[in-house]
Amino acid sequence: KVKPYCIVDNISDFHEGDIVVVNKQGEIVFVYEINSHHNALMVTERCNHRCIMCPQPPILQEKDKTPFNLRLISLMDNNTQEIGITGGEPTLIGDNLFTLINQIKKELPKTAISILSNGVKFADKEYAMKLAKCRYQDLQIDIPLFSDIAEEHNRIVGAKTFYKTVQGLYNLALFHQRIGLRIVVHKQTYKRLPQFADFIYHNFPFVVQVAFMQMETTGLAKENFEELWIDPYDYNEELREAVLLLADRGMKPYIYNAQLCVLPEDIRCYAQQSISDWKDIYIPECDGCVLKGQCAGFFESNRQAHSTYIKKIEHISSDISC
Please give the Cα distance from 259 to 307 (Å, whole number): 9
β-strands 280-281, 271-272 pairing: unpaired
Angstrom distance (rounded) from CA 303 to CA 217: 9
162-174 vs 150-157: helix crossing angle, rounded to 10: 100
- Burial status of residue 269 (CB atoms within 10 A of its CB: 0-12, 13-18, 19 or more): middle
Whether pLDDT at 273 is above 80: yes
State percent of the chain over pLDDT 70: 97
pLDDT, tens only, 96-124:
999 999 999 999 999 999 999 999 999 99
What are the start and end residues of each CATH 3.20.20.70 domain in the chain? 36-302
- At 290 the pLDDT is 94
What pLDDT shows up at residue 272? 95
Q: Which helix (H) or strand (E) holds 222?
A: helix 220-223
Q: For residue 318, what pLDDT band results from cuts at 50, 70 and 90?
A: low
**The domain defined by 36-302 carries CATH number 3.40.50.300:** no
User: CA–CA separation, 215 vs 152, rounded Å?
Assistant: 17
Q: For 36-57, how does the pLDDT look when each residue is reduced to its tens digit (9 = 90+)? A: 988 999 999 999 999 999 999 9
293 CB burial (10 A radius; 0-12, 13-18, 19+): exposed
Predicted confidence (pLDDT) at residue 9 exceeds the cutoff of 80: no
Instruction: Indicate whether 75 pLDDT > 70.
Output: yes
- Does this model's pTM top 0.85? yes
Note the pLDDT tens digit of each residue in 189-211.
Answer: 999 999 999 999 999 999 999 99
**With 60 as the cut, is the pLDDT of residue 1 above it?**
no
Give the chain's mean pLDDT: 94
Stretch among 9-18, 58-67, 92-101, 229-238 having the lowest mean pLDDT: 9-18
Range 139-154 average pLDDT: 98
Average pLDDT over residues 156-168: 98
Cβ-based neighbours of 14, under 8 Å, separated by 6 or more: 8, 20
Answer yes or no: are the C-beta atoms of 70 and 110 closer than 8 Å: no
What is the average per-residue pLDDT within 125-143?
Answer: 98
Instruction: Find out whether 211 and 180 touch, Cβ atoms under 8 Å.
Output: yes
39: left (phi over 0), alpha (psi -120 to 50) or beta: beta
